[in-house]
Amino acid sequence: LSSDLFSKLYSILIMSGHCHTFLKHKIKGSWLRELNQFYLNDLGTKKIESVFDEDWTIKDSASKELKKIRSEKRKIENSLDKVMATCFDKAKRDGILHEENIQLFDNRKVLSVSATNKRKIQGIVYGQSQTGKAVYIEPAEVTNIRNELQELNFRETIEINRIQLMLTNEFRPD
């Protein structure tokens, strides 16, 4: 099940629990048998709460592996920011920048380098400005770090899918 479906299942579990508790004290006789029609699963509710936060994002604590992956990702992201800042400072000192800040291009941090100076910085060119006066380059020093981050993103996706499958299997008999 997806996060969205777990959210809906959780709502059903909570509503069923509240209705059951309320009606248990209000009705008598043969209607009491109908209370058994409510879907109650307190253990399932607790398991969903242990996996998802209030925004229906899987918590770091959902598994040891996910916690480890996300911790590594934060370290790599910090490293990426530091290396990018160093590259930016060097390019600024060398006077080859077109823009005075780090740019975001296609979800990647890049340097906006004057087109005439594009050969003065090693890296991958991801595009250019509409005027052609600037080229967006990811410095070579950042590329390896970015690749590590991408690998961790893949591992995170696999682990999230594994966690969701395990939680789905908890409800499969129902």
Q: What is the pLDDT of residues 87-123, one digit of tens each?
A: 999 999 999 999 888 988 888 899 999 989 889 999 9
pLDDT tens profile 37-88: 778 899 999 999 999 999 999 999 999 999 999 999 999 999 999 999 999 9
Average pLDDT over residues 158-171: 97
The pLDDT, as a whole number, for residue 59 is 97
The pLDDT, as a whole number, for residue 174 is 83
> What is the torsion angle, in degrees rounded to the nearest 10, for the CA atoms of residue 101, residue 107, residue 112 and residue 117?
140
Strand partners, 114: 134
Q: In what order do the strands lie in the sheet with 134-139?
A: 103-105, 108-114, 134-139, 123-128
pLDDT band at 164 (very low <50, low <70, confident <90, very high): very high
The pLDDT, as a whole number, for residue 22 is 83
Angle at 140 between CA 138 and CA 144, to 5 degrees: 100
pLDDT band at 35 (very low <50, low <70, confident <90, very high): confident
